[in-house]
């Protein structure tokens, strides 16, 4: 018995070492799936969690949002100011999504997405008010404007790809109107915009004159 106890005691530091190593490895993997500027999930990690979130209930919405006139912010105030706006937008969106039992991610550049519980589509107006608060950078208040597209998940199995495309289309429709929100009809799955070269019209890489 004493020998077994000795062996167990000798092995304890080794097990503890492996546990610490495994914890550090898990944290490194998670950090690699986080956007370094905003702390939000990157595209692939977001989509993994978004699918799981959608499976929790039918009264959920997929949102795609984009900052309006972001290039002008960079040109006028510099890229550090642009980074400050991206960071603030990510933090605000993340807080809103968490408060709505959801998840948020940065898709790239100044484009973001979220999945959240949403009984009333009008709740997106509160999100816009939060996102459009000015961002202070070096004693200068920078105005922020967003366009948001919303696709709602009804009954049946959720198709994240279809919902993201629908939300993306309506984000672009809102952008063409100068900003705000555009909410897709819940039971309409037909694309609102044509596809060019396999991408939504207006996206970089299409032949359309307008770009998102």
Residue 110 among the catalytic residues? yes
Contacts of 205 (CB under 8 A, 6+ apart): 197, 199
Distances (CA, A) of 167 to 8, 39, 45, 158: 57, 23, 19, 14
Q: Do residues 149 and 175 touch, judged by C-beta distance below 8 A?
A: no
DSSP state of 143: P
Distances (CA, A) of 91 to 23, 104, 159, 190: 26, 10, 27, 33
Q: Do residues 113 and 167 touch, judged by C-beta distance below 8 A?
A: yes
Catalytic-labelled residue, pool 35, 66, 110, 168 = 110
DSSP state of 115: E
Q: Could you tell me which of 151, 155, 160 has the C-alpha nearest to residue 57?
A: 155
Task: Give the active site residues.
Answer: 110
């Amino acid at each position: 018995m004493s020998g077994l106890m000795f062996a167990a005691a000798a092995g304890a530091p080794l097990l503890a070492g492996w546990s610490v190593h495994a914890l550090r490895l898990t944290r490194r993997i998670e950090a690699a799936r986080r956007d370094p500027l905003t702390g939000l999930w990157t595209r692939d990690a977001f989509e993994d969690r978004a699918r799981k979130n959608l499976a929790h209930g039918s009264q959920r919405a997929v949102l795609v949002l984009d900052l309006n006139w972001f290039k002008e912010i960079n040109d006028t105030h510099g890229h550090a100011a642009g980074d400050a706006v991206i960071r603030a937008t990510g933090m605000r969106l993340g807080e809103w999504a968490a408060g709505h039992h959801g998840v948020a991610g940065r898709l790239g550049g100044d484009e973001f997405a979220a999945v959240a519980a949403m009984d009333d589509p009008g709740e997106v107006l509160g999100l816009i008010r939060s996102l459009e608060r000015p961002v202070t950078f070096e004693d200068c208040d920078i105005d922020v404007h967003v366009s948001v597209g919303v696709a709602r998940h009804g009954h049946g199995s959720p198709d994240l790809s279809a919902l993201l495309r629908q939300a993306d289309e309506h984000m672009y429709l809102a952008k063409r109107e100068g900003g705000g929100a555009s909410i897709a009809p819940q039971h309409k799955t037909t694309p609102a915009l044509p596809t060019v070269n396999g991408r939504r019209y207006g996206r970089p890489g299409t032949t359309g004159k307008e770009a998102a």
